Structure 1
């Protein structure tokens, strides 16, 4: 692998108990033995060095190929923090500001309408302000996702507006979203949405590059993330995992989720996946890559915007990005949507969640740790207080299938000794 390297160290030398870390390995092995996950992998870095890595199970049950540290996985919404880093890079260059309305860059958002309270059809709207870039980055824009409740989400589902890898040019899908009303007046609520996909298009317009080109030149390349991209990188297809679901129907149809008899039903074959040759560059959920690559990204955030001699953002911009940008916690913003994280005791920064109160979030953690996950049950967090960067990969959709994220955080914190 090329690019800046993250070292390896003994767990004890970095204040972690090896025996307690062995409990983490056993927990992962049990997830596989119980057929919750086909396979999974975990990297824990403390103070800049990897102190734990474990992979178990299979990346393809059908082909009996092992899930290993270098397995390529769909990270889905863990793409969002990468996109908001790109956004902040443009802010630092003076090319845009966060209070700018999105219509300055995407004319299709020039006239916006929001559904009235209690609307029963899409025609029941009122004029409203255009969402700002800040509202897009914090999921307070009024946009939604097809798997959320509500009539806007139902229409998005009917039009299949999910920004899959095979849905055509990004600009085209964004304009389809812009033709729909907003679920609520921008700023009124928090609702998980395709808003970061819209920001991806803004980045294309401002930079004059496709989102894939911008990522490669400005983020992935400088960080040495050579096995990450919107398409499976050449030479890594043999390590690309299959995607599974415990549901009978669509693996992302959360409103009609029905658990099937097979807890690991394959829904995306690694030999035929649209990620092999992506045509839609989804800033909200389009990247595939390896754990080591994503750890480089996480460590860049933990180190204040730089990895090795490559600086993407200033420390102050990263600190700003990882602060809570809501008026309270997510729960106080009246969410009616699916979310990758707890809502009580959790704020939201630019592209990821921020711990405000671990007790109210009911999960061990540090005030200020920054995290997000993906629909295939992947997860990462950065804890500046404990100097931790943690990356967990598996391939099971939806991510709400099992409570593995709080379990993992509890296990990792239980292993800290100094």
Structure 2
């Protein structure tokens, strides 16, 4: 599209947040100014950086005169606002202020989008402003634009991703080196992959926010964090990894958004985050260390995978700047905002309606008739067993046998009832773990 006759020669860019990603975004705007001008057709002028402390030490130091504590003034004078503050407030209020004025916004704030996305989408649509958030899900990995644009003529049926580098690093160490959870977490913290308080990562909350965003773009309906079923990785043990490896699987924390059907046949979306067994030959199983990947299934395109660094200042800033350039080109060349506001009525289903396979590990008495009674419980609840292996228990405090079962695909609700009935059997000492299986 050619540049229109009254196109601006410069666009004012306000940056909210001067942390790791904010600093790298400021660096790109400054050091790559000539490249950006050539791509946009106008200068991208960084007018200020809103921070809490103007004198703090930063990853990359911009001109000291750019730092300010007056975020509202920056927003009011901007052509494009970049929000990298994190948290809910004041980020939400500042974004709404910009959108109400018709100013387009780029954000990497996954928590805000997962909790207040519908409000923000509506605010953008009301004024024709653009709200872009490629950096909110998988760092440098381009996934939202492909879902929205490249697959806009297709029907996405499932998005399944390793969306948290901290947990992938921990699980990778547990799998490849036999480390226990605490040791793997300590290593992740030492290397800077995990925060001092890793709760949001290891309990699955970070990945859950990303699952809600992925579902919103993939299925065209607004989803929120409270619609995602979440389980973290803190309960994963060396025995779980051994059982998975023996059966040819690897454990990954997956964020999953998929189409499904309720008991009455109505179509909806199931959103879930949990440790999952993947066959070692599955593309996601090969994602190691702190890297991220998103695996997409669509009716016509088939299976696609997007892979790369999911965090870090420079990689995430790259995704931020991709959105900034796209918005700036639209302003300079003319044209409507490219945000497709979610409008489709595809309700979130109860996660208990999800269908998948499961690995169930039991500790049971080592005596005749146990296998028959255990199998009978599965049959009673309509859950079919695909494989069953009995091995001696390695725990001195839990004598007997360890039973490792993998089921055919079953409804989560039926598996939950099965587990409850198994726990009540007098020959079952403990239901040690229940893990979902995907990718078969």
TM-score of the two chains, using structure 1 as the length reference? 0.22
Work out which of the two has the higher radius of gyration on C-alpha atoms and give 1 or 2: 2
> Which structure: greater strand fraction?
2
Higher relative contact order (CA 8 A, sep 6+): 1
> Which structure: greater helix fraction?
2
TM-score of the two chains, using structure 2 as the length reference? 0.21
